[in-house]
Chain A
């Protein structure tokens, strides 16, 4: 069975500083990987996704993520965070068949301090 681990429950970053949110997955083959952001009481917004090809993927709002097969990781990064980035971030994996739902990590709560 596939699984996703987000080891950091909370992360606090100063506004303007860089950000890296960690995500490790467990899956037998190359999965499809996603990062979503969720503001309080809201639905999910897709930040970026990786299916194949270039292992560094660019997303919306200045986010990027790098797929590292050797480390089973798909970490999310942003060079300079803004106060509006404060939210819950979820990493998710989907099997290659596409007929199954997504498996989500437990999420990382990002706090931005002035």
Chain B
């Protein structure tokens, strides 16, 4: 299957600072990327959907000014957690797919980023 690389795998930051997480599709063009959040021992919740060159669409209850998503190229999307606080500590996972080929294509997941805000 296709490869999606997420970086960093772990990050610790101080409260009030911003953190950027990268999601790259290594061997395909990702027209669409999804960002999920997973609290400890819970399921994955979709945060937002981003299409290359467009503004991201956020799920209800997700603060778009806190979680900035940029999808400026067909191989890279970034999630920036701004002014992070301890309650933002979580596991963030991205997935990517290419909707430009017609028909259905599945999404491929990155390995996730463990964010700890201290």
Residues of A within 8 A of B (CB): 32, 36, 41-44, 46, 49, 51, 90, 94, 96, 98-107
Contacts and interface: CB of A to CB of B under 8 A. Distances in A.
Interface in B83-118: 93, 95, 97, 99, 104-107, 109-112, 114
Interface in B27-55: 32, 34, 36, 42-46, 49
A2 to B, nearest CB: 11
B30 to A, nearest CB: 13
A13 to B, nearest CB: 20
A42 B104 contact: no
A104 B32 contact: no
Given A98-B99, A105-B43, A106-B43, A44 B104 contact: no
B1 interface: yes
Main secondary structure on A side of the interface with B: loop
Which of A98, A101, A103 has the most B CB atoms < 10 Å from its CB?
A101
Interface of B: 1, 6, 32, 34, 36, 42-46, 49, 93, 95, 97, 99, 104-107, 109-112, 114
30 contacts: A32-B106, A36-B109, A42-B111, A43-B6, A43-B93, A43-B111, A43-B112, A44-B44, A44-B112, A46-B1, A51-B104, A90-B44, A94-B107, A96-B104, A98-B97, A98-B99, A99-B32, A99-B49, A99-B99, A100-B49, A101-B46, A101-B49, A101-B95, A101-B107, A102-B107, A103-B46, A104-B45, A106-B42, A106-B43, A107-B42
B112 A42 contact: yes
Contact of B43 (A51, A94, A99, A104): A104
